[in-house]
Amino acid sequence: MATDAPPPSQEQRALPTTEEFTEVQQSAEFGELRRAFRSFAFPLTIAFVAWYLLYVLLSNYAGGFMGHKLFGNINVALVFGLAQFLTTFLIAWWYSRHAAAKLDPKAEAIKSRMEGGA
Return the pLDDT at 7: 60
**Residue 44: closest CA among 92, 102, 81, 80:** 92
pLDDT in tens, 50-68: 999 999 999 999 999 999 9
| Rounded Cα distance, 57 and 51, in Å | 10
| Rounded Cα distance, 66 and 4, in Å | 74
DSSP state of 31: H
Per-residue pLDDT for 117 more than 70?
Answer: no
| Rounded Cα distance, 64 and 108, in Å | 52
Return the pLDDT at 16: 78
pTM (2 d.p.): 0.74
Return the pLDDT at 21: 84
Per-residue pLDDT averaged across 33-53, rounded?
Answer: 95
Share of the chain above pLDDT 70, in %: 86
How many other C-beta atoms are found inside a 10 Å radius of the C-beta of residue 65?
Answer: 13
Total residue count of the chain as it appears in this document: 118
Choice between 116 and 19, residue whose per-residue pLDDT is larger: 19
Per-residue pLDDT averaged across 35-43, rounded?
Answer: 95
Per-residue pLDDT averaged across 15-33, rounded?
Answer: 87
Per-residue pLDDT averaged across 75-97, rounded?
Answer: 96
In Å, what is the CA distance from 24 to each residue of 19, 33, 110? 9, 11, 8
Residue 19's contacts (CB-CB under 8 Å, 6 or more residues apart) are: none
